[in-house]
Structure 1
């Protein structure tokens, strides 16, 4: 079975980088991300219309490449967690994790007995079609699956120490837009109270052997918080990356046309006369 190199790198104190699939349900996206050298592809089910069949296809595409598929489930429910793991996801991201009880349930749902209550399913999606012994499969599934919990509410901050002390949490990921809204400072990531809260997430995570993480479409935000200790880093989305590349290309092409004193619109007009 595949090892989860994202989990290995984080355990060793390193950084991992990835990007989100949220608009383009094509297997080409994980392939492109892998070719670009990203460590993981973050497949979102919380803010997208993606169904399980679409997500399973994206996971398959990722597993064929050197990139780790991590799925954000819509919410903390056993059925969501187990179905995406059975589909071959090597990690899950769970939004709005606010209590130690929820963390304990998540860890239990992700693991086979005696360490959890996950229902057994040795699917080809998890083994890549290889024959794997029962004990080997269960041990690998328990040890290699990554758990990312998102800290997005003031309630979560009040339980932070206990939540991150629970064995089985790999990443404490800041949901900074939701957290700033819940704190009463919408979008103000640089507000002193928000900065103090994020610093506390980083410090508490590090104290418990958990990697601090952040998801953001803004490179300057990532640069700032990586310098302060964030190690699980997800930048932008498929749509944002495509739009950014399209805008950059358009600007360069317009510049080239201006330099030659012949804009495409002028050229087309002359051809039609």
Structure 2
């Protein structure tokens, strides 16, 4: 893996080099440094980004900041993966909206850097520019969870369920809570999610069965069973036909 460290502080660049040397999956890595966005862009533009796999990018730098540089990198023919490394945690959402693989806060711990490198290797390179069509499985949600911001691959989501002012996001292993409206999620992800109730959307790929079910609140009706989940989700009467069509297709 070829890595470019972009930080205006020499000490910060040196520390990252030391941490990288301690990470087991960077033994054969080549590490390059740039002290500002201009230097970084000159290095990457010369080859269209092909010579660098990952940029460890500071946000607050003199002149062009890291967020602005990230925008410019996305326009390269073969943009590198980006991991932000900054002392400021208040730009996390903006960073993930720029499709950053991870967001590390200083002082960086080796364990967190290792996790970020593993994500980069698992995800591979980013799509070539913002206009390129993204593969469906590369779509992600930005989740705020217990003070941490993380990207959750949409392919892992089994259902969205409206709960008062929040939406529960369920995967096979855990639940998350996010702000937003179910109607917005439905409009955005209709090709991948099916409305089964006024309060629930389910992943089309995960629908396995439609079963008779008794709910204490709604009485006798229908429920859908999803792959990898013991929990049943109630289906409203008006949506039973849509679920049957999904199973038939």
Query: What is the TM-score of this pair, normalised by structure 1?
Result: 0.29
- The two structures have a TM-score, normalised by structure 2, of 0.31
Tell me which of the two structures has the higher relative contact order, counting C-alpha pairs closer than 8 angstroms and 6 or more residues apart: 1
Higher-helix-fraction structure: 1
Between Structure 1 and Structure 2, the one with more strand by share is: 2
